[in-house]
Amino acid sequence: MLKNLQVMRAIAAVLVVIHHFLLANRDFGQAGGIAGFHNLAELGACGVDLFFCISGFVMLSSIARKPGFSASDFAVGRISRIYPAYWVMLTVFILLVGLNHVKKTGLGGMLAEPLFSAGFLLSSYLLLPAYNPESGFMQPFLAQGWTLSYELYFYALLMIAAVAAKANALRTALLGGFLLVTGVVLFKDSAYVGGIFVSNTIVLEFILGMLVFLLVQKTKRLGWLAIVTGFFLLAATIFFKVENRVLLWGVPSALVLYGFVALEGSLSPWKILKSLGDASYSLYLTHGALTYIYGGLLKRGWYASPTKQNLAVVIGTAFAILLAFVFYRFVEKPMVAKFNHRRLRSQSTSVA
């Protein structure tokens, strides 16, 4: 894995964490903190766009660099990467939220809530598109999991494209991109959950990532200019509401991605950033529990000053990073390793 990509993953994950702490301050805290500065509380959401561009790049790269593409290996590899750690954190979060609801309404009241219905919990565990009864948004019980649903959707379409294109990078990218665009166009006026899901233009950012992969095969010039320009364009959206996410966050994210990849070997990133990149998925999964607890404290009147809330964002983000390292070391990494070990052992047994 490219070191610079891991640094970019670290940056993207931290942006999302800060975004959620700032949203808690804005929605439940006292006015006057940095969360109320123009569109700053929303800016960190662009970490998702960075992640989607990275995914487009990495998935096409993984298909192109392997001499013999196996759809089953690709599918199992992606499933083992996404689901095990997600299931652990989803279960922890359900218990955390459930305990809070039991205190308010009792066990019977909690079980009667749509949020804890068997259908919604099942869709959350499977990462199927569904509206969250509490937030009203299309997201699972662990809210940030909505992006994982799109990741799985992209993986499925790209796997189909790779099989049809015989894993040729250009043809796979063209066919995969065509399938993504087709979904956006065909279902843009759909009133059904599935149609609304696939018609979200944010999926076009996977295409941007694939285009970056194809571009760096031809040239790696102007890497620093791409990074500076990309981050500048992202930062500029502090001052206005982002209406076209793909244009205003997706394209700059693709520029940043190109720059980081183009400068691979030229930069000497801090080891801590590379390590945080390794744990970025754990950070993405675990921080929601912290911001949920923090939001509850704000509702109870804790941190009742802008200064305390600003400081809480810094301390909370630092604690989230620490928790992510622990989760990665003792949960995510061992689970993925064990899953892969079993898969390799199964393959060797079938060959024998």
| pLDDT tens over the chain, length 352 residues | 688 999 999 999 999 999 999 999 999 988 778 999 999 999 999 999 999 999 999 999 999 987 788 999 999 999 999 999 999 999 999 999 999 999 999 999 999 999 999 999 999 999 999 999 999 999 999 999 999 999 999 999 999 999 999 999 999 999 999 999 999 999 999 999 999 999 999 999 999 999 999 999 999 999 999 999 999 999 999 999 999 999 999 999 999 999 999 999 887 777 899 999 999 999 999 999 999 999 999 999 998 899 999 999 999 999 999 999 999 999 999 999 888 777 666 665 544 4
Residues 6+ apart with CB under 8 A from 254: 53, 205, 208, 209, 211, 212, 230
Q: Which amino acid makes up residue 76? A: V
Q: What whole-number distance in Å separates Cα of residue 287 and Cα of residue 264? A: 29
CA dihedral 180, 183, 189, 190 (to 10 degrees): -130
Residue 41: which of 303, 323, 291, 297 has the closest Cα?
291
| pLDDT in the model for residue 41 | 95
Residues 6+ apart with CB under 8 A from 114: 120, 133, 134
- Model confidence, pTM: 0.96
| pLDDT in the model for residue 270 | 79
Residue extents of the structural domains in the chain: 3-351
| pLDDT in the model for residue 345 | 67
* Whole-Å CA distances, 270 to 34, 260, 277, 323: 28, 14, 11, 20
Q: 336: how many CB neighbours lie within 10 A of its CB? A: 17
Concatenated DSSP letters of 52-76: HHHHHHHHHHHHHH-SS--HHHHHH
Q: What whole-number distance in Å separates Cα of residue 270 and Cα of residue 251? A: 26
Radius of gyration of the chain measured on its C-alpha atoms: 21
The per-residue pLDDT for range 190-242, each reduced to its tens digit, is 999 999 999 999 999 999 999 999 999 999 999 999 999 999 999 999 999 99
Q: Which amino acid makes up residue 260? A: F
